[in-house]
Amino acid sequence: MSRTWRAVRRHFGVRKIGLVGHSYIGLLVILYAMRYAPRVNRVVQLSPIEPYPGKQYPAHLKFSDDVMRDTFARLAQLQKERGPEDEQELCQKFWSVLRAIYVADPANAAKINWGRCDLPNERGFLKYWSEDIFPSIQGLNLTPEQLANVRAPVLTIHGTKDRSAAYGGAREWAMLLPNARLVTIEGVGHAPWIEAPEEALGSIHASLNGAWPDSAEKVESLEPRR
């Protein structure tokens, strides 16, 4: 990943770049900013996974409902009924079911189309995730000293109905990082730019242009303001 960003900087002839990372990439952009602080201008985390994966947050700081359970039950059934489909067709069926967990409003599920099935290396992502990426993430133990190396301003954008990454984790990121703010978007899931495009994309635009969005909060507690 660091080689890719270095190549981007060289291609465009820029010394510093702004980073935007969604989900687990929201963690990776922080790791990059820790290691290459002089090369990073600003950072935006979209629905990032928690800084300490596996940490349990209170019920009001994480979103849990029957959709996750039902989705994985449907995926298990799909696996049992698996026919002679080619790899791409099977992938498309898989994501047609899984996409439901990424939005709060079921009507928005059809808008989840991340191209996972278009490239051969992406079709096997879940195996790569479970065997390589997630174990590596679990092996991290970020310290305050390490996080203090992130000099760039960091904006975290997170929905309160995110089933995949706890909202409490977003608040914790904004507390841990030395120069961070949080935009909370009520009632949306793991893909806020789909369910609240104006607020999500507007916040990204403001941040990358050097300003905090009007709704950005300086977080001092895990507990949301009342």
DSSP at 49 = P
Q: Average pLDDT for residues 68-86, to the nearest whole number?
A: 85
Of 116, 125, 180, 123, nearest to 147 by C-alpha is 180
Of 138, 142, 147, nearest to 24 by C-alpha is 138
Q: Average pLDDT for residues 121-142, to the nearest whole number?
A: 87
Give the domain 2-62+141-208 fold: Rossmann fold (3.40.50)
Contact predicate 159/187, CB 8 Å: yes
Between CA 170 and CA 49 the distance in angstroms is 8
Q: Are strands 40-46 and 180-185 parallel, antiparallel or unpaired?
A: unpaired
pLDDT score for 1: 60
Residue 65, amino acid: D
pLDDT score for 41: 95
Spatial strand order of the sheet with 17-22 comes to: 17-22, 40-46, 154-159, 180-185
> So where are the chain's domains?
2-62+141-208, 66-137
Q: Average pLDDT for residues 50-66, to the nearest whole number?
A: 93
pLDDT in tens, 162-180: 999 999 999 999 999 999 9
Of 141, 140, 174, nearest to 156 by C-alpha is 174
Residue 226 scores a pLDDT above 70: no
H or E element at residue 45: strand 40-46
The pTM of the full predicted model, rounded to 2 decimals, is 0.92
Residue 120 scores a pLDDT above 90: no
Residue 212, amino acid: W
Q: Average pLDDT for residues 138-160, to the nearest whole number?
A: 95
Contacts of 174 (CB under 8 A, 6+ apart): 154, 156, 180, 181, 182, 217, 218, 219
In this structure, the number of other CB atoms found within 10 A of the CB of residue 135 comes to 10
